[in-house]
Structure formats: C-alpha cells, structure tokens
Amino acid sequence: MRYFESEVIANQQITQDIFVVQVKRNGAEAAAGQFYMLKSWDTELTLMRPISIFKAEADSLHFMYRTVGRGTQRMARLKAGDPIRLLGPCGNGYPVAEIKGKVAVLGGGVGIPPLCETAKTLRNNGVEVDAFLGFRDVLFAVEEFEPHCANIFVSTEKGAEGYKGFITDLLKPENYDVVLTCGPEVMMRKVAAMCAETGTTCYCSLEHRMACGIGACLGCSIRTRSGMKRVCKDGPVFLSTDLMW
Ligand SMILES: Cc1cc2nc3c(=O)[nH]c(=O)nc-3n(C[C@H](O)[C@H](O)[C@H](O)COP(=O)(O)OP(=O)(O)OC[C@H]3O[C@@H](n4cnc5c(N)ncnc54)[C@H](O)[C@@H]3O)c2cc1C
Ligand code: FES
C-alpha cells in the first residue's frame, strides 16, 4: 500500500449519478475486491473516500462511483489532466486464487463495480462465472461483464429492464460452488442466508463508513465470530459465516 499523486486520464458520466474516473496507475498494485482511498481536493474536505477497483489495466485504474455527497460530487467535476491522490490498494479482496468450480457474482447498485474486476480475474483463472446484477431502475456496467461471464442476469425494482424484482430472486445457490456478493447489506444478508441453506460458500464485501482506510483509527470495527475486525484492513471481504449481521 502506498500514498501517491496521480493524474486523471478521463472522468466519464455513465448515468445521471454514476461516473467512472480513470487514473494513471503509476505501477500501483490492484487485486479483485480491493479498494483505494481517493482524494481530489485540498482543504475543503479532510477525509479521503473509499472506492473499489472497477477495472485494472496495465497503465490505469478505473473507479466507478455514484455521486452521493460532497466528496463524490467534487470527484464528478474532475477533468483529464487533473491531479488526484490515491492511498492503496486497501483491504483484502476476494480470495480468487483459492476459488474453483462454478461461481456466481451477485451485486446490487454500486456494489456491482468491484465484481467486474473479480469476474475478470476468475475467468482468467479458468473459473466459470455467472453475474447477477441488481439495479434500482437504470442499468450500468452490464456490458463490462460480458467478456468475463457465461451468463448475466439483470433485475430492476420496477421492471424497467430485465427481471422485475430483486436480483436475489434469480439466484439458485445450489447451482454454484461459491457465491461472491457486494451491495446493500439487506441484499447480502439475504444472499448469505440462502447460501447457508444450501451449504454454498459465500463471501460478502462490506461497506462501512471509513476515516483512515488503513486500519489505524478502528472507526470501521465490527464484531465477527472470530473477534473484532476492521472492515478496511481485515476486510472488506468476509466469509458470510463469520459475520454477525
Ligand atoms: C470498501 C468500500 C468500497 C466502496 N466502493 C465504492 C464504489 O466502488 N463505488 C461507489 O460509488 N461507492 C463506493 N463506496 C461508498 C463510497 O465510499 C461513499 O459513497 C463515499 O465515501 C461518499 O462520500 P461523499 O463525500 O460523496 O458523501 P458524504 O456522505 O458527504 O460522506 C461523508 C463521509 O462519510 C463517508 N461515507 C459516506 N458514505 C459512505 C459509505 N457508504 N461507505 C463508506 N464511507 C462513507 C465518506 O467517506 C466521508 O468520510 C465504498 C465504500 C467502502 C467502504
Ligand atoms: S477506517 Fe480507520 S480502521 Fe478502518
């Protein structure tokens, strides 16, 4: 992990509130499910913001983010050539090297981006991957999964596109050796419960308010079956059976 100054290559608006910022990689490491702390401001805000690795290319990193507050709205104004500071890679990603067989990646909302690099890595390791992607109404990033997935299932809450309802309705955990999930906690709890019923291994990537992002402030601590854990340093990915929701 290191702190470094980089440069924006592009900052593309995908939907009304979803953007992808591509930054120069400068030799930085990146593994599926890890995240970076980002900062594109000097004094107006103090803390960096945690954003997952969406795509890692040889010379650049892509971060897909939803504008929700001051930090992400400030990021949305970035232009090619602007400076941006990165701290990372942070956390432990999905244990992709250990995963074999048939895998489902299931994401909801901005839990979807980290699953794209994950699907790519698994596919490169010879693992068959299906993607289950749940949206509120407008789709994003679906085409990015196409090269890496055998099947892609899509849902929207009111049926604007794909299946009408929750993406968890479409998952049959018994068809998979491992399920990897990221998104709203209520969705991941449901996935974890479904996997517990069928005895399917399930990993959840938790989202938690973060200050330092590097394990120093303990602000993101959670209780697990194996003691207190910091989401930023010990996670964000946890075995579902270790979590005490
Ligand atoms: C490990 C991890 C990975 C993430 N990956 C993505 C991603 O790929 N794409 C994406 O759109 N969002 C992602 N998020 C959520 C993203 O960090 C928040 O939406 C963002 O920090 C909000 O900042 P803001 O200044 O716009 O909002 P504000 O609400 O103004 O933020 C105020 C403070 O709260 C923190 N905060 C607010 N919401 C969250 C949150 N949900 N999670 C963590 N900290 C929060 C901010 O870091 C900041 O310190 C991730 C969060 C975590 C923990
Ligand atoms: S955010 Fe500081 S320990 Fe996790």
Using one digit for the tens of pLDDT, what is the confidence trace for 75-123?
999 999 999 999 999 999 999 999 999 999 999 999 999 999 999 999 9
91 three-class SS: coil
pLDDT score for 67: 98
Residues of the chain with pLDDT under 50: none
Domains of the chain: 2-90 (2.40.30.10), 96-205 (3.40.50.80)
Pocket test for ligand 1, best of 206, 209, 214, 222 (most atoms within 8 A of CB): 209
51 lines ligand 2 (CB under 6 A): no
- 226 Cα: distance to centroid of ligand 2 (angstroms): 18
The model carries a pTM of 0.96
* Nearest bound ligand to the CA of residue 231: 2
pLDDT score for 45: 72
pLDDT score for 20: 98
